[in-house]
């Protein structure tokens, strides 16, 4: 079984979305982890917009990268430039992939405008993760 880590700055939103979709699309083909270089807690709006798409991430936790130094990852996916550039030394032979998704937690405006940004990022993450799983985990 493959081990996949999604890494973001605070492990609160983008990496949580990706973890949810990885678990959904990969099912039993991989063990999925997510972490941050900091720990900010799972964003309630991320939980809400994933529920709109039928994915429950309410039991996911915000974890620090240091918790996983001993896991032999096959893939490490960074989902923001800051995490890719600021991650401490992480000993791994994993294939490293990167995609910088917009941070919906930084969205401003009305509640509707903010939620629209969360949905937009969710949809981008979903498409990326579905493609990743089809190309790397379904073989």
Annotated catalytic residue: which of 38, 39, 40, 87?
87
Active site residue 87: yes
Query: What pLDDT, on the 0 to 100 scale, is given for residue 94?
Result: 87
- Element of type H or E holding 33: strand 30-36
Active site residue 8: yes
Query: What pLDDT, on the 0 to 100 scale, is given for residue 59?
Result: 96
Domain boundaries, the chain: 2-136
Annotated catalytic residue: which of 4, 5, 7, 8?
8
Number of Cβ within a 10 Å radius of residue 41: 11
| pLDDT of residue 112 exceeding 80 | yes
Annotated catalytic residue: which of 80, 83, 105, 125?
80
For residue 29, what is the DSSP state?
G
Cα 102 to Cα 85: distance, rounded to the nearest angstrom: 16
Give the tens place of pLDDT for each residue, 3-57.
999 999 889 999 999 999 999 999 989 999 999 988 889 999 999 999 999 999 9
As a whole-number percent, the residues of the chain with pLDDT over 90 amount to 73
**CATH number for the domain formed by residue range(s) 2-136:** 3.40.50.2300
Cα 100 to Cα 78: distance, rounded to the nearest angstrom: 8
Please check whether residue 14 is in contact with residue 86, taking contact to mean a CB–CB distance below 8 angstroms: no
Active site residue 13: no
Please check whether residue 57 is in contact with residue 34, taking contact to mean a CB–CB distance below 8 angstroms: no
Q: What is the pLDDT averaged over residues 53-71? A: 93
Cα 94 to Cα 100: distance, rounded to the nearest angstrom: 19
């Amino acid at each position: 079984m493959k081990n996949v880590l999604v890494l973001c700055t605070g492990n609160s939103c983008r990496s949580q979305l990706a973890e949810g979709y990885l678990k959904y699309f990969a099912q039993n083909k991989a063990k999925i982890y997510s972490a941050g270089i900091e720990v900010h807690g799972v964003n309630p709006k991320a939980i809400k917009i994933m529920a709109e798409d039928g994915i429950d991430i309410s039991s996911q936790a915000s974890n620090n990268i240091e918790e996983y130094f001993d896991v032999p990852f096959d893939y490490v996916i960074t989902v923001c430039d800051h995490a890719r550039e600021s991650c401490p030394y992480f000993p791994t032979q994993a294939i490293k992939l990167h995609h910088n998704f917009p941070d919906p937690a930084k969205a401003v405006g009305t509640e509707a405008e903010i939620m629209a940004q969360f949905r937009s990022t969710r949809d981008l993450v979903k498409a990326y993760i579905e493609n990743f799983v089809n190309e790397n985990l379904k073989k």
